[in-house]
Amino acid sequence: MISTKGFGIPLLDEYLGGGLDRNTLTTIVGTLGVGKTILSSHWVAEGAKNGEVCVYVSTRMPITTIENYLGNLNFMLDVFDRIYWRVVEVDARQIMPITNEKITEWLENVIGFELEKVDRLVFDVVTSIYRALGDVVLYRRALKSLEMVLYENDVSTIFVEEADSIREASITVGASSCAIYLNYINTQAGETRAMKIIKRYRRTHPLNWIPYEITEDGIQIKRGLCIPKDHEYILIGEEYER
């Protein structure tokens, strides 16, 4: 039986069949401000609670922002210092020429220890690699090497990607075993944050948008679905039937 690594968000883990499969690559995609970083942080926090070695690599937030922003969320209070937070600026010269050996060397320099010791890894944002390389072909090659290196070292990984549409994220999503897209959608209740599980191997999951809120406790999934109708979405579920 394949083991899973959950987010610690009960309803989301239920939809995912317990969480993300061990030693697989997942992409979390979305626009600015939808909670990609918070959702990914839930995942490493849950791993840290379970005694796993968890690394969060950020290419866009300084450590002070990470401490002030993520460190004060309730689900992080007891585990923040147990997570290895790393801040890096991606430099194409450090990963060229793109080989599995070069990628391994680069990742271990970023992390500060051997990759084989890592249980959970978040790379936020993987879009930074594409921007550094400036070439789609090179980016595809880098993704393939990353995928192989992480698999060989038994590292379960989340890539965070900035994108305005699912289509724009197709390169990274195509390399993933699971992909979750976060966005703002219009409903009869107004603009709502919602996520959609684009794919999850081995598991039947909802095909509609799943509404959620961002609170001091992090991501809170609402019981209900967003069903398309005309030019907006209709919220249905026990929370909205009154």
Closest CA to 161 of 58, 27, 44: 27
Helix (H, G, I), strand (E, B) or coil at 47: helix
The amino acid that residue 12 corresponds to is L
Strands (E), 73-131: 84-87, 120-124
Chain segment 64-85, per-residue pLDDT in tens: 999 999 999 999 999 999 999 9
**pLDDT of 186:** 82
Tell me how far apart the alpha carbons of residues 210 and 200 are, in angstroms, rounded to a whole number.
15
Tell me how far apart the alpha carbons of residues 187 and 169 are, in angstroms, rounded to a whole number.
24
- Structure token pair of residue 197: 């599980």
Each domain of the chain, given as residue ranges in start order, spans 4-236
Average pLDDT in the chain? 89
Pairing of strands 4-5, 20-21: antiparallel
**pLDDT of 173:** 87
Q: How confident is the model at residue 181 (pLDDT cuts 50, 70, 90)?
A: very high
Between 165 and 197, residue with greater pLDDT: 197
User: Considering the domain 4-236, what is its CATH architecture?
Assistant: 3-Layer(aba) Sandwich (3.40)
Q: How confident is the model at residue 206 (pLDDT cuts 50, 70, 90)?
A: confident
**pLDDT of 151:** 95
Residue 164 has pLDDT above 80, yes or no: no
Tell me how far apart the alpha carbons of residues 226 and 207 are, in angstroms, rounded to a whole number.
10
Q: How confident is the model at residue 37 (pLDDT cuts 50, 70, 90)?
A: very high
Count of helix runs (H) and strand runs (E) in the chain? 8, 13
Chain segment 139-163, per-residue pLDDT in tens: 999 999 999 999 999 999 999 998 8
Q: CB neighbours of 33 closer than 8 A, spacing ≥ 6?
A: none
Query: How many CA atoms within 13 Å lie on the side-chain side of 91?
Result: 8
Residue 57 has pLDDT above 60, yes or no: yes
The average pLDDT across 171-195 equals 87
Between 171 and 149, residue with greater pLDDT: 149
Pairing of strands 225-229, 232-236: antiparallel
**pLDDT of 202:** 79
Look at phi and psi of residue 49 and say left if phi exceeds 0, alpha if psi is from -120 to 50, else beta: alpha
Closest CA to 23 of 87, 119, 101, 102: 119
